Structure 1
Amino acid sequence: MRFGLIVAFVLVFTSCKEHAKKHDISMNKHISDSESVVSEDLDLEVYDFAGFKKFLNQTDDQVHVINFWATWCAPCVKELPYFEQLNAEYAHKNVDVLLVSLDFPHLYESKLKPFIKNENITSKVIALDDVDMNSWIPEVDKTWSGSLPATIIYKNKERKFFEQSFTFEELETEINQFLN
């Protein structure tokens, strides 16, 4: 099982590598750092998986949308505007959007933060920095191969996991199942 997860992550990183080359998005080695990173322009909360777990099981009657993404992942970047639109249009309906970046820590200042600022991302963005992917990926969802993008939508104990890209209409359809 662990070998399969490693292979899946290598495949994801490899498939996104060609896109990174075409669009000048760096793919560098992951460096562990679980402290908060603070910049003049943007505060970025950084969690290891133990700290992140609190976001996975909230029982507060809100619909939680957690999207795992990275700046080097073309399908992730393509769907981000739909999560932003969802955040804007559904916040008053008790929908909470959380964007979990899996970018490499040494690129937070040079790639991630400028991307968030340049794209005017208003949803909450945090970074997940935990190199032991084999242990935490199955804790997020047992069916997750590790590829990106991935999204969890849940409300209390009701939960759905998606290892796919979304359009806004698809997101809206899924969210409305939790609101009705």
Structure 2
Amino acid sequence: MRKSLLLSCFSLFFLLAACGNKKNKNTSINNNQEITVYNFNTIEPLLYSTSNKTKIVNFWAMWCAPCVKELPYLQEYAQKHPNVELLLVSLDFPETIEKELKPFLKEKNITAKVIMLDDPDANSWINKIDPNWSGAIPFTIISINNKRMFYERSFENVEDLNNEIQNNF
């Protein structure tokens, strides 16, 4: 009886361990990625490129139809160009990350790096990014070395984005 009880406990331990490992693997696959929430002071250094690498920083939100439409174009461009770093800055609310933002990214198959900007003083940080920016989104910064271009519009397709980069950098 004791041997049977020990064997049962041992089997249960391995069964739970196996289920636990499977659950962890599924969790990491199902959860798109960790999304860090920044204020403007902590996000500002991420908005620049000082190397030969092209950096595309796109400000967007789930509720912005033009933003959502262009996300796949930005991602496709970055995937086709290994020298491009794409950073998607969500302006959604931090409380939406788990129940709305991550499922949205999974549904839209967005795998690019996503961070969130949560800073209530938009009038201050918008002007620090670009004094000509009205605050409307989508808004994209493209930079290479110390050259930066600002786009307060959505890109219509991958070719549109490619043309802007080819013509301006």
CA distance in 1 between partners of 2:164 and 2:46 (Å): 19
Following superposition of structure 1 onto structure 2, how do residues 112-151 of structure 1 map, counting pairs within 5 Å? 112-151=101-140
Structure 2 residue 107 is the aligned partner of structure 1 residue 106: no
Aligned pair partner of 1:159 in 127, 148, 160: 148
Amino acid at match of 1:175: I
SS of aligned partner of 2:92: coil
CA distance in 2 between partners of 1:176 and 1:100 (Å): 23
Taking structure 2 as the reference length, the TM-score comes to 0.77
Structure 2 residue 57 is the aligned partner of structure 1 residue 66: yes
How far off its partner does 1:150 sit?
Answer: 0.5
Structure 1: gaps (5+ residues): 1-38
- 1:73-108 per-residue CA deviation (whole Å, 9 max, x = no partner) reads 0010011110111111112xx111111100011211
Aligned pair partner of 1:175 in 147, 165, 169: 165
How far off its partner does 1:178 sit?
Answer: 5.6
Following superposition of structure 1 onto structure 2, how do residues 14-93 of structure 1 map, counting pairs within 5 Å? 41=31, 42-91=33-82
CA distance in 1 between partners of 2:141 and 2:69 (Å): 18
SS of aligned partner of 2:110: coil
Structure 2: gaps (5+ residues): 1-26
CA distance in 2 between partners of 1:122 and 1:131 (Å): 27
How far off its partner does 1:175 sit?
Answer: 2.0
Q: How many residues align?
A: 139
SS of aligned partner of 2:120: coil
Amino acid at match of 1:173: N
- 1:87-131 per-residue CA deviation (whole Å, 9 max, x = no partner) reads 11112xx11111110001121122111111221212111111111
SS of aligned partner of 1:44: coil
State whether residues 58 and 87 of structure 2, in contact with CA within 8 Å, keep that contact through their aligned partners in structure 1.
yes
CA distance in 1 between partners of 2:144 and 2:168 (Å): 7
Taking structure 1 as the reference length, the TM-score comes to 0.73
State whether residues 63 and 178 of structure 1, in contact with CA within 8 Å, keep that contact through their aligned partners in structure 2.
no
How far off its partner does 1:58 sit?
Answer: 2.9
Identical columns (%): 49
Determine which structure has the larger helix proportion and give its number: 2
State whether residues 84 and 123 of structure 1, in contact with CA within 8 Å, keep that contact through their aligned partners in structure 2.
yes
